Structure 1
Amino acid sequence: MNNTFPHNHHYRHVSSFSELVNTRFQGNTNAICWHRDLVGDFKEIVAKLRLKENITEVSIEDLAVLKLSEKGNLAREIILQDIQLLTDFGASPSLNLLKSYERDEELDFISTDVYSYHVDRSPIETDTFLCTYHGPASDILPHHQVDQKILIPEIREKLKKLHVGTEDEFEIFLKDHFFDLHYQPKPNSTPVNLGSGHLWRLAVDHPTQQVLACVHRAPVERDNEYRLLLIC
């Protein structure tokens, strides 16, 4: 789990949970990483959990009943500690065992699923926290390396053909269907992978946000490998 990241101005590293939650987003910085090299066998936990659906929420009780090796137990303690830290902070963390997310295949020219680069939006002041303990991790991109899909002329024209109503209503239509949240990487864009074991805080689009929301996407899963992800 020894992940290193190139220096980049759109995210920054911190060394504690306190720094993670108290460091302000500012300028171009819209992602903050509590960089950690975790010990413990997270793969063992994944192997002993039972997938009930493609996205299975794992409860604290589900974790508690697992019979684990010493390294597996270390991993469990780290997860429980992260859940406690986030809960005490006022967040509502969810531990998910993931086979895959639902795909959006309705339109062939624009996708609105989580595999597409997108930002999160909320009517209230909040941030997105996530940590991948096992399996592939998400990618982020700075805004200067993406184009908002609804502003790409050929995509916009196709969306206009779908819409029935006035120009003002068209903008509402784009928001109602979440088309405005999705982005297309520019040629030669360089995604930053969030890596394993690091706890990230990503900026969300909400009324009091001072920076642009963080553009990110879920990874394509590997065959026969589940992801273990903490998110809130």
Structure 2
Amino acid sequence: MDNRFSDNDQVGVVASFSELVNINFQGNTNALCWHRSLDGDFKEIISKLQLKENITVASPEDLLLLQLSEKGSRAREIILNDLQLLTDFGASPSLNLLKYYERDDEFDFISTDVYSWHVDRSPIGTDTFLCTYYGAASDIIPNNQVTQKILIPEVREKLKELHDGPEAEFEDFLKDNYFDLHYQAKSNAEPVNLGLGHIWRLAVDHPEQNVLPCVHRAPVEKGECRLLLIC
């Protein structure tokens, strides 16, 4: 087990895909990690795939067309197996070759892009699964180490000015524009980096969820593409 998680009650570490999808979130635990050490050349996969846009979705068929070395082939086998496991579970996984996400710079007092600390929301019972095979990895942070941005007085005042409508509709305005999904880290916060090769399951805000949703963010890319499985 990675000792980063041994004293962190936000993270549960499991040893198999079956445990990953079947263990229920409870208490402060809203992130589960299938901890793995992968043997494969994932950088070769990136070098052979063609980046068509800032985010390019690679299908299993795209992967099978690649001419790869033995280690590259091993990496491909791992990715295809992960895609199949999640598909058989009923999820809709996507393999993304990612240069960068679009930034939200419309307002200087609040951001709603994925580089901001945020939670995911769904109208149905679901979870977010992700695995970074190569490149910078995402971070999560305990819920007690963040403040919802709409509760920060100066941010809330500016949002009220932006709303410029009936007070009774303000909360709906915040939700409709996803402002309520974003958070600011406290000064003593200790984020956890998700690392490479592990499959993570993160709790989502939905009506059936019995734990707080997992606060997370995308990393700022370091000049190289990421290879990311997400659903």
Which residue is 1:197 aligned to?
A: 197
Aligned residue runs from structure 1 range 175-190, under 5 A: 175-190=175-190
Q: Which moved more, 1:144-153 or 1:166-175?
A: 166-175
Q: Residues 42 and 75 of structure 1 are in contact (CA less than 8 Å); yes or no, is this contact kept in structure 2?
A: yes
Separation (CA, whole Å) in 2 of partners of 1:67 and 1:46:
12
Are residue 96 (structure 1) and residue 120 (structure 2) matched?
no
Separation (CA, whole Å) in 1 of partners of 2:50 and 2:4:
33
Separation (CA, whole Å) in 2 of partners of 1:169 and 1:22:
39
Shift of 1:124: 0.6
Give 1:115's aligned amino acid: Y
**How much is the aligned-residue C-alpha RMSD, in angstroms?**
1.0
Q: Residues 5 and 11 of structure 2 are in contact (CA less than 8 Å); yes or no, is this contact kept in structure 1?
A: no
Q: Residues 20 and 201 of structure 1 are in contact (CA less than 8 Å); yes or no, is this contact kept in structure 2?
A: yes
Q: Percent identity?
A: 73
Q: Residues 57 and 94 of structure 1 are in contact (CA less than 8 Å); yes or no, is this contact kept in structure 2?
A: yes
Once the two structures are superposed, what CA deviation does each residue of 1:3-60 show, in whole Å capped at 9, x if it has no partner? 6524200111000000000010001100000000000000000111100000100011
Once the two structures are superposed, what CA deviation does each residue of 1:166-196 show, in whole Å capped at 9, x if it has no partner? 2220000000100000000000201000000
Give 1:125's aligned amino acid: G
Give 2:230's aligned amino acid: I
1:170–1:154 CA distance, 2 compared to 1 (3 A): same
The alignment partner of 1:104 has SS state of coil
Give 1:63's aligned amino acid: L
Separation (CA, whole Å) in 2 of partners of 1:82 and 1:26:
25
Separation (CA, whole Å) in 2 of partners of 1:4 and 1:39:
21
TM, length-normalised to structure 1 = 0.98
Structure 1 unaligned blocks of 5 or more: none
Give 1:95's aligned amino acid: L
Q: Residues 20 and 34 of structure 2 are in contact (CA less than 8 Å); yes or no, is this contact kept in structure 1?
A: yes
Structure 2 unaligned blocks of 5 or more: none
The alignment partner of 2:210 has SS state of coil
Separation (CA, whole Å) in 1 of partners of 2:72 and 2:169:
54
Once the two structures are superposed, what CA deviation does each residue of 1:73-128 show, in whole Å capped at 9, x if it has no partner? 00000000000000000000000000000100000000000000000000011000
The alignment partner of 2:111 has SS state of coil
Separation (CA, whole Å) in 2 of partners of 1:166 and 1:39:
57
Separation (CA, whole Å) in 2 of partners of 1:219 and 1:89:
27
Are residue 230 (structure 1) and residue 209 (structure 2) matched?
no
Which residue is 1:79 aligned to?
A: 79
Separation (CA, whole Å) in 1 of partners of 2:2 and 2:116:
24
Q: Residues 3 and 196 of structure 1 are in contact (CA less than 8 Å); yes or no, is this contact kept in structure 2?
A: no
The alignment partner of 1:212 has SS state of coil
Which residue is 1:135 aligned to?
A: 135
